[in-house]
Amino acid sequence: MVFYKTEDDILFLKKSGDLVSKTLAEVAKNIKPGISTLKLDSIAEQFIRDNNGIPGFLGYRSFPNTLCISINEQVVHGLPSNYELKDGDIVSVDCGVILNNYYGDSAYTFIVGETSFEIKKLLSVTKEALYKGIELAVEGNRIGDIGFAVQSHAEKNGYSVVRELVGHGVGRNLHEKPEVPNYGKRGSGLKLKTGLVIAIEPMVNLGKKEVIESKDGWTISTKDKKPSAHFEHTIAVRKEKAEILTTFDYIEHILN
């Protein structure tokens, strides 16, 4: 069942989205060579709790941490560990919070130190693909239109889109219906209506689209071991233009 949100619900979701965005910015302040991903995880947990939130991922389906931190060829759901970031790593940080019983969900892929033009372009195209998808998240369009926009932008640039993991509805639950694939046919799938709140989250691979699950039962990596990028916003469908409930502004203010 798809839950459509009232204006009050959307206001609460925007507050959760703001907290999750500020948490990712707190992580951005600390991402540098030599820091362990477990340390980043504890910084995020502390920040969420200090701001009256609850980590949304911690304990969700027994997930052991506050952040999913996925490095290089890891696509999503990477577990924080004692691994220390190195110059040239790319790091997808996915964060969820609960504030006033509503979830916020967002992800950003960071570059540690310096990296190649090839990797920078992968990140840039993945982020562009996210916004191409958001542009089509308006009343009257369909879920397939979003996926088509993401997929065609990624593939036009020579990349591939992960099929096994998708975006989703967001509300009082972290994962609600509908699923929001990053691929699809125009004009297919659920018709979008005002009040639908969804997370759109392209996962785009430098190499082939195939992924594998690691022995830890969580981490998903590219099968060909080539890097992958991941960006995510939570948005509300509107008549003219989608309303983005999370923001990268805090992060990019720090990075720039």
Question: Which CATH number goes with the domain that contains 95?
Answer: 3.90.230.10
Q: What is the pLDDT of residues 180-208, one digit of tens each?
A: 999 999 999 999 999 999 999 999 999 99
Average pLDDT over every residue of 130-138:
98
For residue 251, is it within any domain? yes
Q: Which two tokens mark 247?
A: 């923001």
**What range does the domain containing 106 cover?**
7-255
Strand 102-111 relative to strand 233-236, pairing: unpaired
For residue 13, is it within any domain? yes
For residue 1, is it within any domain? no
For the full predicted model, state whether its pTM sits above 0.85. yes
**Cα torsion angle, 226, 106, 110, 70, sign:** negative
Average pLDDT over every residue of 98-118:
98
For residue 117, is it within any domain? yes
- Give alpha helix (H) positions in 35-163: 37-50, 117-135, 143-156
Extended beta strands in 56-189, E state: 67-71, 74-76, 90-99, 102-111, 160-161, 167-169, 176-180
The fraction of the chain above a pLDDT of 90, given in percent, is 100
Q: What is the pLDDT of residues 144-155, one digit of tens each?
A: 999 999 999 999
For residue 250, is it within any domain? yes
Total number of domains constituting the chain:
1
For residue 98, is it within any domain? yes
The mean pLDDT of the chain is: 98
Res 75: pLDDT = 98
Distance CA 192, CA 178 (A): 10
Res 37: pLDDT = 98
For residue 206, is it within any domain? yes
Res 250: pLDDT = 98
Question: With the CA atoms of 16, 200, 82 and 60 taken in that order, what torsion angle do they form, in degrees rounded to the nearest 10?
Answer: 60
pLDDT grade for 69, boundaries at 50, 70 and 90: very high
Q: 234 near 245, Cβ under 8 Å?
A: yes
Res 190: pLDDT = 98
pLDDT grade for 80, boundaries at 50, 70 and 90: very high
Q: What is the pLDDT of residues 19-65, one digit of tens each?
A: 999 999 999 999 999 999 999 999 999 999 999 999 999 999 999 99
For residue 42, is it within any domain? yes
Average pLDDT over every residue of 98-119:
98
Res 93: pLDDT = 98
